[in-house]
A = this chain, B = another copy of it.
Amino acid sequence: MKDNGKVTIYDISKRLNVSAATVSRALNNNPKISSKTRELVFTTAKEMNYKQNRLAQALKSGKSKNVGVIVPYINRNFFSSIIRGIEEELGPHGYHVIICQTHEQMDTEMEQINTLLNTQVDGIFMSISKSTTNIDHFTKVLQEGKFLIFFDRKLDVPGVSSVVIDDFKAGYMSTAHLISQGCKRIAHFSGDLNLEIYKNRHDGYISALENHGLKPDPRYIFTTLSNVESGAAAARKMWELKEKPDAVFSASDYTALGAVQELKKQGVRIPEDFCISGFSNEPFTQYMELPMSSIDQTPLRMGQIAAQVFLEQVDSDQELSIEKKVVLSPELMVRKSSNRSLAELKVQ
């Protein structure tokens, strides 16, 4: 039975001495068909091992039932969890998910968008790359009548929906928590302020300081890359200051980890002398020598909701795509790295 997968509705129609249209109707549960022929078609279709060609169907209908997801790197826990959420929400609706990586490069981002459009995806989900400044490639997606949905890292583009967490609030919560632990000189490891998310975390940090009567000090703010080395380097610099900080709110778990490692080397006791709080709730944070406080961004949920927003747009066949902005609440996970009550209990 080496059919090579080339069984078409024509093969079935010949075998049954009916027209291809009838077969097509039967297969699609079209009401205008006798139940006998429908049954007949179904059974022989199965018999002949017929497989519908989604390509042809897509070409005909203008809907490919494919969506693209573009992220910097797919093997980052945060992003792969979002993708999982999207897949699980969209799969049952017959969609396939095509994944693309930008490696944080705007030009590959543009390329990926182009090839996805060529593939006739019905929509694109994405987190913009760090180096993205231009928005022409986004408006192009809209022009071509495809849906575009940002998650986490977004840019304000008219007509584009987005699902993000409240990064300002996350920054505020983290900082306020550090203050509640008695910290007075709180530093901040920021990411690229070109990205809204880092800007918002930063602003939340500043706002929390001010609301608690602490004066923000620019020397306490370090721009870092989201990796261990960069965190260690920032910690070193930080420790050269005359008036050393007594806490840091890091916008990345990796930089926070680098800081922990560096400060420990220098003999700093955490959380007794120094409190630290990271961002993203990476799996490793809870298994560390010193379990680290962090912000959970609920990526699975973020993906699911992004998918739901997409489905809504698809269903409501509006000419104008409605713009929907969803903001999720972050969750602060307090762990030992910033929990002095815990530490004191142990000391006693």
Contact surface of A with B, Cβ cutoff 8 Å: 1-5, 51-56, 58-59, 64, 66, 73-77, 80-81, 83-84, 87-88, 91, 94, 96-101, 114-120, 143-146, 257, 282-284, 287-290, 300
Contact = CB atoms under 8 A, between A and B. Distances in A.
A35 B174 CA distance: 63
Nearest to A140: B49
| Interface SS majority for chain A | mixed
A66 B55 CA distance: 11
Contact of A51 (B58, B88, B118): B118
Given A53-B118, A284-B284, A97 B99 contact: yes
Given A3-B144, A145-B5, A117 B51 contact: yes
Contacts of A51: 114, 117-118, 144
Interface pairs A-B: 5 shortest CB-CB: A5-B144, A289-B289, A284-B284, A75-B80, A80-B80
Copies of the protein in its oligomer: 2
A282 B77 CA distance: 11
Nearest to A1: B143
B2 A143 contact: yes
B119 A54 contact: yes
A83 B87 contact: no
Contacts of A282: 283
Nearest to A289: B289
Contact of A74 (B2, B73, B84, B94): B84
A101 B120 contact: no
A100 B119 contact: no
Residue among A5, A56, A120 with the most chain B CB within 10 A?
A: A5
A143 B4 contact: yes
Contacts of A4: 143-145
A292 to B, nearest CB: 9
Nearest to A103: B88
A80 B87 contact: no
B101 A99 contact: no
Contact of A5 (B80, B117, B283, B289): B117
Contacts of A144: 3-5, 51
A50 to B, nearest CB: 10
Contacts of A87: 74, 99-101
Nearest to A114: B51
A348 B121 CA distance: 64
Contacts of A115: 54, 94, 96
Contacts of A58: 55
